[in-house]
Amino acid sequence: MKIAIIGGTGSIGKGFALRWGHKHHVIIGSREQEKARARAVEYTGILKDHGQKADITGEINAKAASEADIILLAIRYGQISSIIEQIKAEIDNKIVISVVVPMEKDRCIIVPNGVPLEISANSREDYKADYFCYVTPPAGSAAQEIASLLPAGTELVSAFHNVPAAKLSNLDTELGYDIGVCGNYMHSKNIVFGLVRDIPGMRPLDIGPLETSSMVESITPLLVNVAIRNHMKDVGIKFVD
Ligand SMILES: NC(=O)c1ccc[n+]([C@@H]2O[C@H](COP(=O)([O-])OP(=O)(O)OC[C@H]3O[C@@H](n4cnc5c(N)ncnc54)[C@H](OP(=O)(O)O)[C@@H]3O)[C@@H](O)[C@H]2O)c1
């Protein structure tokens, strides 16, 4: 498959390129073509050092999207509307994957009955310590907001939110994580389950339709808080039955 990683020059994008680059054609997307191509060369070199042949190229975001079968959005929440505007014309019934987590430091926004209520770090003495918080988007989750910006009929799958980029990018480590997958179409979810299984040590778990994405997205700030406060590294999730 041809997979465009929009924001593939960033932390988590690098991890996906390294984990899929030997099995799929990965197209690194960036706002700058030179940067995209330089990262493609860098990631190809890392795979070569690990004895693997890579198929990784780099293009500006819109061209990367136009060349792909699957488009993965590895960008920050604040950039989703501008980036989707840039690639919208190229989406054309392709599967889109969102790994986007809207989170901020020391700032909780709770949305009771659709009315945003902000609790800032300065408003309460006991909120002053370092911590990360899920910032609920007006649509309910980043995935639902992205869905509202995509062309009608686009199959959006929300997944991979709870994977730490550093460990994903380190080909010398075992992963051992579960990956929650949310979406409204079983056909596209099955394709994403396959992409999860392509990465050794990852297990896909069906969470439900797209509106369940907020549950999975909001686990990420919890994992980061656990890591920071308990001096742990690369915390992820694994369900045990
Ligand atoms: N990092 C993690 O461990 C992790 C884990 C799970 C999920 N996620 C989610 O994955 C997404 C990406 O996270 P990340 O840590 O990889 O982010 P990042 O490294 O900060 O940024 C990703 C890419 O976004 C592009 N970018 C930066 N500023 C931009 C702007 N103003 N407008 C448009 N594009 C811009 C950059 O690409 P160019 O400069 O090349 O255009 C950058 O390489 C986030 O939504 C995050 O919540 C991250």
Q: What per-residue confidence (pLDDT) applies to 194?
A: 98
Contact 201, 113 (CB under 8 A): no
Nearest to 18 by CA among 162, 167, 161: 167
Could you say which DSSP state residue 211 is in? G
End-to-end CA distance of the chain: 33
Q: What per-residue confidence (pLDDT) applies to 128?
A: 47
Q: What per-residue confidence (pLDDT) applies to 188?
A: 98
Residue 63 has pLDDT above 50, yes or no: yes
pLDDT tens, residue by residue, 195-241: 999 999 999 999 999 999 999 999 999 999 999 889 999 999 999 99
DSSP code per residue over 58-114 = EEEHHHHHHH-SEEEE-S-GGGHHHHHHHHGGGTTT-EEEE----EEESEEEE-GGG
Strands across the sheet containing 2-6: 56-60, 25-30, 2-6, 70-73, 95-98, 156-159, 177-183, 202-208
Residue 16 has pLDDT above 70, yes or no: yes
Residue 118 has pLDDT above 90, yes or no: no
Taking the C-alpha atoms of residue 187 and residue 191, their distance in angstroms, rounded to an integer, is 7
- The domains of the chain, with CATH numbers, are 2-101+140-211 (3.40.50.720)
Nearest to 213 by CA among 120, 150, 134, 149: 134
Ligand 1 pocket test target in 16, 76, 226 with most atoms within 8 Å of CB: 76
Q: What per-residue confidence (pLDDT) applies to 105?
A: 84
Whether the CB of 163 sits within 6 Å of ligand 1: yes
Whether the CB of 7 sits within 6 Å of ligand 1: yes
pLDDT tens, residue by residue, 137-159: 999 999 999 999 999 999 999 99
Least confident of 6-10, 114-118, 161-165, 201-205: 114-118
Q: What per-residue confidence (pLDDT) applies to 17?
A: 98
